[in-house]
Amino acid sequence: MSPTNHLTLLIVTVLVTLTTGLPCQKSQWKIPHRGFLSYDRRQDSEPRNMFADGKYLTGFSVNNPAILLQGELDRSQQFLTEDPGSLWEVAMHTAFDLRMVNRAGKIDHTYEFLAGFGVVRIHGKATEANSSGMQKLELQIQRLQLPTDRYPARVLKFLNEQNGSPLTGTLKIERHYRVDLQRIQSFKSTLTIQTNGRPARLREQWTFKEAKACRYPAFKQQVAKAIKMGGEYCKRQLTNLQRQDLHATPDTEGRTTGSGLLALCLLTMVKAEIRHDDPTLVAGFEELRKRNIHDTYSLAIAIMAMEALYAPRDERQMLIDRRIDAPLPRKPSATDLKIIQTWTERLLQHTDSSIKDLAYTRRHYYQPGAKRYDNSNTQYATLGLYSAQLCGIEISPTVWHALGHHWLSDRLPDGAPLPLNLTSHTDYAKIRAKASDKKPSRRTVGRGKKIAPAGWPYTTLKLGKTEHMMPLTLSMTAAGITGVTICEAALLTAKPAPPKKSSKRRSKKTTKRSKKPSTKDLFRDFATAREQGYAWLLDNFSLRCNKHRLGYGFHYYYLYGIERACELGQIALIGDRDWYFEGSTMILGMLDQRSGFLPAGNLYSTCFAILFLKQAAPPLPPITGRRRR
């Protein structure tokens, strides 16, 4: 072939590639570093209420906007590394997988665990793209049985109860990949399923809208607007303090959840910088002071709300800038101090009654007397007690030692050692100031030593020597990191315990108890546990859902938890993931721009989302042993 013909063939090939989108090389996404692509999404379902009926599709809900984060992709920038948490996201995950784009072949994916269904297999074929660059995917959906060789009988029974809905169906996708722009320009999908004897169909159409860089210029302003709107939304909900979900009467289990929600709204309003003399805020706190609060969550959040009322507004930044070395003392009124004292005394009683020595291990449940615990209640008890200490309530160092021992003993190893790189807020600000749009700073990826990941479950229930009933979750691992960090901070600032009188005669039992780890050893163990927890978060990271094996729930509760875990350590990047930007992007995309309310959630969700945006974690003194880059 002559040189002229070679040149002609090359030109034709380039033109075909640009006009049809057919690839000449491996297809991959082009997204700004740590940025995202947003899409316009249209949806239609039959029946129309299929996603609102929790009994129909357990855990089936919309929690995320129509976006794709660069951090969600694998190293080759071809597919999402995080499995979908819900059927709602299966079409997006499949359409955005570029490994089979524009060429024919088989597709076969297995997801663990899809909310409400458990292990689900998606398999079928992809056709070659046509002359317009459109490609069709035709897939079958079926629920698989949980592997019996991986779980004991009791665990299988528990997981099947949570994810036991039958499922069969089909998924048809038509997508258009633009090789010149390196992105899926659009896709249409039809998901048809049969579950619990009822048919359902969901149609979606996604069309590319825009690409945005990490921390784009208007990001701060949009977050500030959302915080203000969310605070005003909570304020409107408190105009009627006798509404049903804010009730003062305990529920059938004796829990004062209405008072807890009232306290959460007040905490959110204070953090959103609603004026302290605002009539609605004043009336809300007056009502809270009158409430007879009983359960752990409500007591803890009430103490946190009261403490926030007396906290300096710029304290977080002063601690980051090292203008102060420790949180400033709160000075509540004598009346409020007495109320906080009463709440604290009740909170201290809400422990697992199966623990005989509370000086060694302390863990909490909803109310006193129960022979059980969970790490969610224990986390909020830890937060409430720390807020009480900031207000001048004396919490014995023994309490912090015992809580710390619980958090250390409840973590479980999971996964092979991996490099852990954490970047502080201060260093990340320097990186962003120096980085160009084209080439990210090398400082964002450091050489971290390998850490063996370990996480926390909702509760541990040992079956034999190694198995536990409840899986590790992102929300509870964030709680574990929060727990060990607060216990260390509280011990650093707690008043020393008075010296005990010496005794010449010591029983064998006393000698055995004296073998508890020293404070120095405890601090070393806290640092190790934090690193292991961050390593587990990095290995399982997702801001789309509370990634775990029981479903898709507690999404905004988890976001508020990840905010605490990272803010308490002053961590801006976990690995290369900007957790705050990614989480804020998810929230901003779901927030109703007129009301400030999250349409897919409830009042709790809105409060948790606003607290995330505000970076409302409690203030801590500098923690020794913290890894920073």
Instruction: Return the minimum-mean-pLDDT range out of 129-143, 256-270, 466-480.
Output: 466-480
Task: Indicate the DSSP class of residue 343.
Answer: H
- Give the model's pLDDT for residue 503: 47
- Give the model's pLDDT for residue 12: 42
Tokens of 52: 């609102």
pLDDT at position 159 over 80: no
List CB contacts of 405: < 8 A, sequence separation 6 or more. 360, 361, 362, 516, 517, 522
pLDDT at position 629 over 70: no
- Side-chain-side CA neighbours of 387 within 13 Å: the count stands at 30
Closest CA to 280 of 270, 290, 294: 270
Residue 314 pLDDT grade (very low, low, confident, very high; cuts 50, 70, 90): confident
Which run of H or E residues covers position 492?
helix 474-493
Instruction: Return the minimum-mean-pLDDT range out of 77-81, 140-144, 587-591, 594-598.
Output: 594-598
pLDDT at position 615 over 50: yes
- Give the model's pLDDT for residue 497: 56
- Give the model's pLDDT for residue 433: 87
- Give the model's pLDDT for residue 539: 93
Q: What percent of the chain has pLDDT over 90?
A: 59
Instruction: Please classify residue 555 by burial: count the beta carbons closer than 10 Å to its beta carbon, then call 0-12 exposed, 13-18 middle and 19+ buried.
Output: buried
Q: What is the mean pLDDT of residues 240-245?
A: 88
- Give the model's pLDDT for residue 58: 42
Instruction: Please classify residue 524 by burial: count the beta carbons closer than 10 Å to its beta carbon, then call 0-12 exposed, 13-18 middle and 19+ buried.
Output: middle
Cα separations (Å) of 526 from 400, 406, 487, 547? 12, 11, 9, 24
**If one looks up domain 219-437+448-497+516-614 in CATH, what number appears?**
1.50.10
pLDDT at position 437 over 90: no
pLDDT at position 463 over 60: no
- Give the model's pLDDT for residue 602: 78
Closest CA to 264 of 519, 532, 616: 616
- Give the model's pLDDT for residue 162: 62
- Give the model's pLDDT for residue 499: 56
- Give the model's pLDDT for residue 144: 86
- Average pLDDT across the chain, whole number: 84
Q: What is the mean pLDDT of residues 378-388?
A: 98
Structure pTM?
Answer: 0.88
- Give the model's pLDDT for residue 508: 45
pLDDT at position 115 over 90: no
480 phi, psi to nearest 5 deg: -65, -45
pLDDT at position 130 over 60: yes
Q: What is the pLDDT of residues 13-40, one digit of tens each?
A: 444 444 444 444 689 999 999 999 999 9
CB atoms closer than 10 angstroms to residue 621: 15
pLDDT at position 248 over 50: yes
Instruction: Please classify residue 413 by burial: count the beta carbons closer than 10 Å to its beta carbon, then call 0-12 exposed, 13-18 middle and 19+ buried.
Output: exposed
- Give the model's pLDDT for residue 217: 95
Q: What is the mean pLDDT of residues 164-183?
A: 91
pLDDT at position 223 over 90: yes
Instruction: Return the minimum-mean-pLDDT range out of 392-396, 479-483, 505-509.
Output: 505-509
What distance in Å separates the CA atoms of residue 564 and residue 316, rounded to the nearest whole number? 12
Crossing angle of helices 334-349 and 375-390, in 10° steps, is 150
List CB contacts of 171: < 8 A, sequence separation 6 or more. 90, 91, 94, 122, 124, 137, 139, 140, 141, 189, 190, 191, 192
pLDDT at position 461 over 70: no
What distance in Å separates the CA atoms of residue 34 and residue 214, rounded to the nearest whole number? 5
- Give the model's pLDDT for residue 278: 97
Q: What is the mean pLDDT of residues 144-157?
A: 66
List CB contacts of 222: < 8 A, sequence separation 6 or more. 588
Q: What is the mean pLDDT of residues 404-419?
A: 94
Residue 199 pLDDT grade (very low, low, confident, very high; cuts 50, 70, 90): confident
pLDDT at position 556 over 50: yes
- Give the model's pLDDT for residue 155: 57
pLDDT at position 245 over 80: yes
Q: Are 573 and 46 in contact (CB under 8 A)?
A: no
- Give the model's pLDDT for residue 13: 45
Instruction: Please classify residue 564 by burial: count the beta carbons closer than 10 Å to its beta carbon, then call 0-12 exposed, 13-18 middle and 19+ buried.
Output: buried
Torsion over CA: 547, 542, 114, 58 (sign): positive
Residue 322 pLDDT grade (very low, low, confident, very high; cuts 50, 70, 90): confident
Sequence ranges of the domains in the chain = 30-212, 219-437+448-497+516-614
